[in-house]
């Protein structure tokens, strides 16, 4: 069974940057064969989609509230998907999750239910 592990979270001041990573654990699984999404959930709020990248890396999408500040990428063969977060704001504070969907799931059409495998999350706190 595909298992995902997020890393890179932490405490950062407003305007700062963090880089999150999502890796597959479990023998024989490669993230290269999945559409990967990043989601976040702040205390008392619904989990929301942040960004998505296709298996080839040719398609990426972003929620309006992170456009121009966050960048999703993947290194084919490295089994890792990254989320570079710049110009962080206090409202970006949340637990960030990566999730995997079938390779044929398009980022523009994807809904949360399409993502069947989830990581445990990594905490991002933006505060002075």
Alpha-carbon distance of 12 to 89, in angstroms, equals 9
The per-residue pLDDT for 69 is 98
Q: Which residue has the higher pLDDT, 105 or 14?
A: 14
Nearest to 37 by CA among 12, 16, 66: 66
Tens digits of residue pLDDT in 67-94: 999 999 998 787 899 999 999 999 999 9
The per-residue pLDDT for 79 is 86
The per-residue pLDDT for 28 is 76
Alpha-carbon distance of 79 to 32, in angstroms, equals 6
Phi (first) and psi of residue 82, to 5 degrees: -115, 155
Alpha-carbon distance of 45 to 1, in angstroms, equals 29
Q: For residue 27, what are its two tokens?
A: 């023998």
Nearest to 70 by CA among 93, 55, 88, 53: 88
Tens digits of residue pLDDT in 1-47: 788 999 999 999 999 999 999 998 877 788 889 999 999 999 999 99
The per-residue pLDDT for 29 is 80
**How remote is the C-alpha of 23 from its chain's centroid?**
11
Give the single-character DSSP code of 113.
G
């Amino acid at each position: 069974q595909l298992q995902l592990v997020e890393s890179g979270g932490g405490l950062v001041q407003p305007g700062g940057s963090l880089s999150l990573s999502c890796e597959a654990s479990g023998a024989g699984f490669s993230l290269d064969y999945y559409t990967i999404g990043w989601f976040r959930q702040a205390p008392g709020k619904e989990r929301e989609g942040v960004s998505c990248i296709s298996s080839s890396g040719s398609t990426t999408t972003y929620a309006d509230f992170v456009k121009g500040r966050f960048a999703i990428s993947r290194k084919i063969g490295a089994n890792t998907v990254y989320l570079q977060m710049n110009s962080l704001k206090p409202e970006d504070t949340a637990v960030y999750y990566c999730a995997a969907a079938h390779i044929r799931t398009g980022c523009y059409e994807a809904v949360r239910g399409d993502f069947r495998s989830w990581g445990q999350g990594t905490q991002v706190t933006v505060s002075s």
